[in-house]
Amino acid sequence: MKKNGLLLVNLGSPDTPTTPDVKRYLKEFLSDRNVIEMPPALWQPLLRGIILPTRSWRSATFYRNCWTKDGSPLIVYTERLVAKVQKLMPEWIVKMAMTYGKPKISDTIVEMKKECQNITVLPLFPFFTKSTTQTVIDKVKDADPEAKIIDRFSAEEDYLDLLAKQIQTAWDKGKYDKLLISYHGIPTAMVNHGDPYRDETEAATAELIKRLDIPEKQIKMAYQSKFGPMPWLKPYLRNTLLNEAQLGHRDVLVVAPSFVADCLETLEEDQVQNYQVFRENGGNNLVMVPSLNDSPEFAQFITDLVQRKG
């Protein structure tokens, strides 16, 4: 038995890009009280009666558009990342789990406890928010109250340096009018109730601006992936893209730091849907900075972070 184990956790994915599997996945995801704060007595009839029947088939189409021959991009990149971190940490057991879908956090921790004495969990969410990180914490503590959790890493100097390098490399390859730093949005009500997410994303943007050789006037931040009628953090990425196109800024570079692995939001929402909106309103070129995915540099960052804090 080894002394230490590392569990990397990402959001999750349907098993397949079919309507039944997507429906099961969305039901689990959208039943999480950390994601949807509406009382279940009000929310569940709406979820089961309207949202799942209408949204599942549409979302399945989007998943099919970005599915690879190896499966879900999010799962594939996370598996490859785990393999690289394992090579860098041979004295540890390194596994992965998903907040929703498979492999489940609880099942994976049960298996890990057969192989190691102490477990460190790293949610692959750079920024803390109730709707992602807190759910991981809750599920981990239910399975292993003694597990150590590294609950965020967006303020780590090495992470910011790595992300800035990724952005600068992409910027230098083209001629862009704007860099848009787009974070996954959350409901404004969460921030009003004390969620630190907006503060952390704004702080990261400020740190990236310091590191980038790009004029500050050419950098904007935005939030994407809004769901439902309630107000979310602004400015919305889609509105920002419309404004930039109308201002004659026809070539934009977009980076989405909330997503360490390319997934539905980066591959379908940004590269397809937002690109189409941008083009239809006068834009020319929308290029995404690749996510960190399973890059050797990101694997090394995780290794260093865990060995320092785990």
Q: Where are the domains of the chain?
A: 157-288
Residue 310 has pLDDT above 80, yes or no: no
Average pLDDT over residues 180-195: 98
Residue 212 has pLDDT above 90, yes or no: yes
CATH level 3 topology of 157-288? Rossmann fold (3.40.50)
Binding residues, as ranges, are: 184, 265
Q: Look at strands 251-255 and 178-184 and give their pairing.
A: parallel
3-state secondary structure of 172: helix
Residue 116 has pLDDT above 90, yes or no: yes
**pLDDT of amino acid 201:** 99
Report the distance separating Cα 143 and Cα 121, nearest Å: 12
The confidence band for 296, taking pLDDT boundaries of 50, 70 and 90, is: very high
Within 10 angstroms of residue 199's Cβ, the number of other Cβ atoms is: 12
Percent of the chain exceeding pLDDT 70 equals 100
State the greatest distance between any 2 C-alpha atoms of the chain, in Å, as a whole number. 61
Q: Determine which helix (DSSP H) or strand (DSSP E) holds 135, and give its type and residue range.
A: helix 135-143
Residue 304 has pLDDT above 90, yes or no: yes
Average pLDDT over residues 4-10: 99
Residues 167/206, Cβ–Cβ less than 8 Å = no
Binding residues for Fe(2+), as ranges, are: 184, 265
Residue 276 has pLDDT above 90, yes or no: yes
The confidence band for 243, taking pLDDT boundaries of 50, 70 and 90, is: very high
Residue 229 has pLDDT above 90, yes or no: no
Q: In what order do the strands lie in the sheet with 285-288?
A: 219-224, 178-184, 251-255, 285-288
Q: Catalogue the E-assigned strands of the chain.
A: 2-12, 92-100, 116-123, 148-149, 178-184, 219-224, 251-255, 285-288
Residue 228 has pLDDT above 90, yes or no: no
**pLDDT of amino acid 90:** 98
Average pLDDT over residues 253-267: 97
46-92 per-position pLDDT tens digit:
999 999 999 999 999 999 999 999 999 999 999 999 999 999 999 99
Percent of the chain exceeding pLDDT 90 equals 97
**pLDDT of amino acid 73:** 98
Average pLDDT over residues 171-193: 98
Average pLDDT, the chain: 97
